[in-house]
A and B are shown apart, each in its own frame.
Chain A
């Protein structure tokens, strides 16, 4: 079988590209280019997550990371500056902190089950009873919908409340922004062009 080997090679290559993009972003002094590269990073990450069988996460990454985040970063650049200040001097402490955090994170993954492990807790613990029982209990053909809307109904209600609150907040902020120029001269109106 060539497929598993091919998939594994693709994953390795995508991860290498992700790492390369990260290093490039960190070394980039032109902020515009750095924003473009974060978009590229999101696309690469989305491809990788899709291969790991998480298409929903992959799509969210592509939409939020490459779409909305790039958009917001560019809007920020329009209000601030386009060039990063050159680093003053090499400071060892941040490097040590980052490396230590990385080591701790890698150590944390050692306990995790391997990818595709059938004996992993996530596949055995609330037993596969959702699959066998949900049709009789909830009478919904889609198991995910049954779990989200019935078994975890309150949880979903809370999540949607959070999203509604965030949306209302964003709308209020943007409305406020739009009213400013009517009252007087908007200080950011022409300085960025």
Chain B
């Protein structure tokens, strides 16, 4: 039951992040929504693992978190400089 509650909270947060990505007037609202959804996916992977009593995918969640971090850094860099080139 505990994991079901956690899952419900995560899904509600996902819906709210999606709403923000849809509404978000500025670029940074949308980046924040993307980052939030990536984090929630990590949590979703973990909670689904424990919900189905097979928590073998924890390392997958770690990798997902790392990818999310790299992606967000790239997006932020792009939003600041407008390109990815090293000049």
Contact = CB atoms under 8 A, between A and B. Distances in A.
Contacts of A33: 21, 24, 30
5 contacts: A6-B7, A62-B67, A70-B34, A189-B85, A193-B82
B70 interface: yes
A7 B34 contact: no
Given A33-B24, A44-B14, A66-B68, A75 B83 contact: yes
Contacts of B74: 70-71, 74
B32 to A, nearest CB: 10
A55 interface: yes
Given A44-B37, A47-B45, A10 B81 contact: no
Contacts of A67: 67-68, 70-71
Interface residues of A, number: 40
B27 A40 contact: no
Size bracket of the B interface: 35 or more
A32 B83 contact: no
Chain B CB within 10 A, most for which of A39, A51, A181: A39
Contacts of A51: 48
Nearest to B14: A17
A181 B86 CA distance: 11
Interface of B: 1, 4, 7, 11, 14-15, 17-18, 21-22, 24, 27, 30-31, 33-34, 37-38, 40-41, 44-45, 48, 51-53, 57, 60, 63-64, 67-68, 70-71, 74-75, 78, 81-85, 87
Interface string A18-47: 001100100000001100110110011011
Interface in A77-120: 78
A176 interface: no
Contacts of B85: 189
Nearest to A46: B41
A95 B40 CA distance: 34
Nearest to A28: B22
A17 B18 contact: yes
A185 to B, nearest CB: 12
A49 to B, nearest CB: 10
